[in-house]
Amino acid sequence: MTVEIALVFIIIGIALYLFSSEKLPLDITAFLILVTIIAIPQLFHSQFLLDRGVDLQSAFPTVREGLSGFSSPATVTVLAMFILSAGVQRSGLIHALGMRLFPLVGNSEIRQILIIALLVGPVSGLINNTAAVAVAIPLVLDMARRSGSRASRMLLPLSFFGMLGGTLTLIGTSTNILASTILADLPEFGREIGMFEFTHLGLIVLATGLVYFLTIGRWLMPKTDLVPMQSKDEEEFIFEVRVPTDSPLVGSSLDDADFAVRRGATILKLVRGKQSMVKKAGSTNLKEGDVLQVRGNQRLILDLIAAEEVDVLSEFADSRQVRSDGSLVRILLRDDRIFGRKTGRQVDFWERFQARAIGLEAEQVRSRRLADETLTVGKILVVQISQTALARLRRNPDVVVLDEFEDEFDITRMWLAGGIIAGVVLGATLTPLPIVVTALMGVLAMVLTGCLTAKDMYSGISWNVIFLLAGVIPLGIAMTKSGGADWLGGMLALHATDWHPVLVLMALYLITTLMTEMVSNNASVVILVPVSISIAGLLDMAIFPLVLVVMFAASTSFLSPVGYQTNTMIYGTGLYRFTDFFRVGGPLNLILMVVTCLSIYWLWPVAG
């Protein structure tokens, strides 16, 4: 081992310690690596060292090479995918998918796992899986709340299926994009990996994960949540809806129609004439004109306004129905002369403010009907109001306008966002354009079509991931230029000379999995892709199967919450112990090591 190689491994060792101990944020550690690797050949290049055979400038990246991570196609592609994901989220496409999938769930944990796999797995293959999981977390939490399931038993499969789904396509995870960029720069390979070149292997891996969670994994998942799950993450209101004549709910009960689960609503009471039903509200067959007292957030109110099942009532009166136009606004009542000890029925909000009163922010109401609930100063209501009337309301001293709910969900935007994502994927598949170009074209299309504003575009990027990528790329350059990759590959090849190719693949898979837990998936790919290429040359094996092993092992390392961003995200909810990931993910990693390596051996020629 030369001095140059030893120095590179010392830097890697320090990086491993900092990544695993998290004494610094991961992106700061990556940035520290970048600065160190650039500075060393500039500060310590001397004739004294050259005379002793130590040439740091030839073994370490130049300044241009060291900064190449910021302009790398991998970094730019991941950045673009974050922006595209923000556009999909803002359009409401994920929300719409969830609304249609939730009725299939019920209270069955098996169906919940199936729905998560079917929703998050494929979506993670089309957009960055980290962003896909971030979008799906509130949906899964809501599903757990509505079905009475433990959130910890839902979020762990969500993270794992996001990782598994990321193996379906080139753009599913930054790991794949990074490996493709490294291969494209190699004379031995000289091309980028195709968009769907390994999708069949990804489907095998995803199916394996699904079978695992439907069998062994279910019994290994946490039995309890470490902290109680919050029942809501935003303001909720009590409001009333009426069952119209042509409603599909007429003649059936709310339970039979899965109304509460499907809509994410809490049914408080059913009012029929002078009769009120609380315990039997869900099991009673509905009639025309029945009034339901419901608790939900502003998103639910808008969904029900657009629905044909019920009419949302305004002005706390049976005869007035909310219109489909106008914005929802939270207001605080402040004038005791107007609101003090008066009921909602007595205050004419339309006459006074040109606003339709819809709901009251409260845990419960004491009166039989919302219109009979006494209003007091300090109460918070949700009202529907036009922009013109809202401008006047903000100047009115009788109330305080707290905030406006901007309904960003729009059918046209949903189709546009979905079409743009499809265009990005198909463009990279069916044309000579590389994925980085089609992704940037997709970003431009998102902005020009109004799916994203400039503010949303920048706020949708996880900059820590971008700096992490840009910081670790020079580490791979140093591994290659110093000869460290060849040395490490030679050490493994020396012991694996007589091994069966499948055992070589498994050994590389195991090394990658363990390293990913210490340095993150992107850093392990940067370090081990050059090593796998060196092993291929020494053992006369094909390059692509070995690189695939590194890609898949780095993308599916489940052993801890710090190995992959999606695990870190759900660990941050406070629902898990550190060891929960190893208990559930360890057996899955061993199974996937066997399945992935055998599949690669069967699907691709391993001999060089």
User: Mind listing the pLDDT tens digit for each residue in 432-442?
Assistant: 787 788 889 98
Residue 266 is encoded by which pair of tokens?
Answer: 């809490």
* Segment 498-505 mean pLDDT: 90
Q: In CATH, what class is 237-405? A: alpha beta
Nearest to 96 by CA among 451, 450, 414, 446: 414
* Segment 99-103 mean pLDDT: 65
Band the pLDDT of 233: cuts 50, 70, 90.
Answer: very low
Residue 449 is encoded by which pair of tokens?
Answer: 């079509």
User: What is each CA distance from 29 to 177, 472, 475, 562, in whole angstroms?
Assistant: 21, 9, 12, 14
Residue partners of 269: CB distance under 8 A and separation at least 6: 276, 277, 278, 281, 292, 293
* Pairwise CA distance, residues 585 & 505, whole Å: 20
DSSP of 313-371: B-TT-TT-B--S-SEEEEEEE--HHHHTTEETTTS-HHHHHSEEEEEE-SS--SSSSGG
Q: What is the pLDDT of residues 546-562, one digit of tens each?
A: 999 999 999 998 987 76
Band the pLDDT of 95: cuts 50, 70, 90.
Answer: low
* Segment 454-476 mean pLDDT: 76
Nearest to 288 by CA among 238, 353, 350, 243: 243
Q: What is the pLDDT of residues 107-163, one digit of tens each?
A: 678 888 998 898 889 988 887 777 677 667 767 776 776 666 788 888 899 999 999
Report which residue type is found at 382. Answer: V
User: What is each CA distance from 267 to 273, 280, 291, 313, 429, in whole angstroms?
Assistant: 18, 10, 11, 15, 48
Residue 245 has pLDDT above 80, yes or no: yes
Res 519: pLDDT: 61
Report which residue type is found at 138. Answer: P
Report which residue type is found at 577. Answer: R
Q: What is the pLDDT of residues 208-230, one digit of tens each?
A: 999 999 999 989 988 776 655 44
Report which residue type is found at 97. Answer: L
Instruction: Choose from 231-235, 320-324, 473-477, 580-584 the range with maximum mean pLDDT.
Output: 580-584
Res 230: pLDDT: 46
Which uninterrupted H or E stretch holds 271?
Answer: strand 266-272
* Segment 292-314 mean pLDDT: 86
Tell me the pLDDT of the chain averaged across its residues: 82
Taking only Cα atoms into account, the Rg of the chain, rounded to an integer number of angstroms, comes to 29
Band the pLDDT of 492: cuts 50, 70, 90.
Answer: confident
Nearest to 162 by CA among 523, 570, 582: 570
Residue 593 has pLDDT above 90, yes or no: yes
Residue partners of 219: CB distance under 8 A and separation at least 6: none
Domain ranges of the chain: 74-228+411-464, 237-405
Res 106: pLDDT: 64
Higher pLDDT pick, 491 / 105: 491
Residue 175 has pLDDT above 90, yes or no: no
Query: Percent of the chain having pLDDT more than 90?
Result: 18
Res 232: pLDDT: 43
Residue 377 has pLDDT above 70, yes or no: yes
Query: Percent of the chain having pLDDT more than 70?
Result: 89
Phi, psi of 541 (to 5 degrees): -115, 160
